[in-house]
Structure 1
Amino acid sequence: MTEMTTAHTSEVDPVVLQAARALCNDAFDGEFSDDDWEHALGGVHALVWESGVLVGHGAVVQRRLVHGGRAWRAGYVEAVAVREDRRQRGYGAAVMGALEDVVRRAYQVGALASADTALDFYAGRGWQLWRGPTSVLTPTGPERTEDDDGGIFVLPVEVVPDLDGPLACDWREGDVW
């Protein structure tokens, strides 16, 4: 039996959070850092359970994105992962559906950084690939993030962005996007 739950980080049992962290680490082949996990905390988690076992996870947290002279309240998707032996069963789509509902209800725009292998997955769900230059607002000023160009997606909610214009994210430790 499959079950989907959503809950704020403060409402998720610490044992479940540890299981979600382990799931992300496994799904990203050990390339999921402490900073990556930190980025997924403080928002709403979507959790997919199969017969009581956690098989899917994702989170949406609030960030600020700057575009067109305006700061947007963005629902930023983090730590989307499905257990390797449970992929291609719709669990990733279920996680994203729950997170997209949160984004549409609480934010002006959704955003996420995609791995190359997931570009088609997000585009197929209606996320729009950002074509313009990206940057981060560091403590010492704006810095370009050329390596992230071509991998950032947005989900318009209240705002319709110029996808060819510049986009900046707020500063954080680790991967900024």
Structure 2
Amino acid sequence: MIELFTAHTAELDDVTREAARALLVEEFVDLTEEDWEHGLGGVHALLREDGVLIGHASVVQRRLLHAGRALRTGYVENVVVRADRRGRGHGAALMAALERVIRGGYELGALCAADQAAEFYAARGWQRWRGPLVALGPRGPVPTPEEEGEVFVLPGAVPLDQDGRLACDWRDGDVW
């Protein structure tokens, strides 16, 4: 039996939190401590099959700056489906749960997608950001051209110029 549920980080018991981390480590061998931390403090979508965790994704609040506005953004992190369960709609179910959270609580959704996931997000209505990207570092704006083409947004009520500059708040590890 497949079970999808959402919970805030604070509501996850230690067993579930560690199972999510183990799944991410198993599927992403280069997962860093910062990568894991980026997905904490928000809402998690979790997918269990017969009591075993097979999928995870989270959305956390970030501030993205665009066209003179600081936008309350639901930023998607740590999306994973166990390799032997992919291609069955599980990723779509996880994202549908997070997209409801984003549409209900944020002005904008955003994520940084690996090349192999770009088509998946685009098919769900996420749009590739075309303009320049920067991170607001401790010493000012830091261009992040290596991320251009990998950042996607889920537009909300705020008008966007997707050829304009988009800036993210600073954080350790990958800023996008």
Which bracket does the TM-score occupy, shorter chain normalised? over 0.9
Which residue pairs with 2:149 in the alignment? 150
TM-score by length of 2: 0.99
Which residue pairs with 1:42 in the alignment? 41
Q: Residue type of the partner of 1:93?
A: A
Which residue pairs with 2:13 in the alignment? 13
TM-score by length of 1: 0.98
Q: Residue type of the partner of 2:4?
A: M
Q: Residue type of the partner of 2:82?
A: R
Q: Distance in 2 between matches of 1:146 and 1:35?
A: 21
Structure-to-structure mapping, 1:130-145, within 5 angstroms: 130-145=129-144
Q: Distance in 1 between matches of 2:156 and 2:14?
A: 32
Structure-to-structure mapping, 1:67-86, within 5 angstroms: 67-86=66-85
Given the alignment of the two structures, is residue 24 of structure 1 paired with residue 17 of structure 2, yes or no? Answer: no
Q: Distance in 2 between matches of 1:150 and 1:99?
A: 22
Q: Residue type of the partner of 2:108?
A: V
Give aligned-pair identity as a percent. 60
Which residue pairs with 2:89 in the alignment? 90
Q: Distance in 1 between matches of 2:122 and 2:26?
A: 24
Q: Residue type of the partner of 1:156?
A: P
Local SS of the residue matching 1:16: helix
Cα deviation 1:102-142 (Å, max 9, x = unaligned): 00000000000000010000000000100000000001100
Q: Distance in 2 between matches of 1:161 and 1:32?
A: 32
Q: Distance in 2 between matches of 1:81 and 1:51?
A: 18
Q: Residue type of the partner of 2:40?
A: L
Which residue pairs with 2:102 in the alignment? 103
Comparing 167-176 and 151-160, the one that deviates more: 151-160
Structure 1: unaligned runs, 5 residues or longer:
none
Q: Residue type of the partner of 2:13?
A: D
Give 1:25 deviation, angstroms. 1.2
Structure 2: unaligned runs, 5 residues or longer:
none
Given the alignment of the two structures, is residue 170 of structure 1 paired with residue 161 of structure 2, yes or no? Answer: no
Q: How many residues are treated as equivalent by the alignment?
A: 176
Give 1:27 deviation, angstroms. 1.6
Cα deviation 1:132-160 (Å, max 9, x = unaligned): 00000001100100000000000011212
Q: Distance in 2 between matches of 1:58 and 1:106?
A: 17
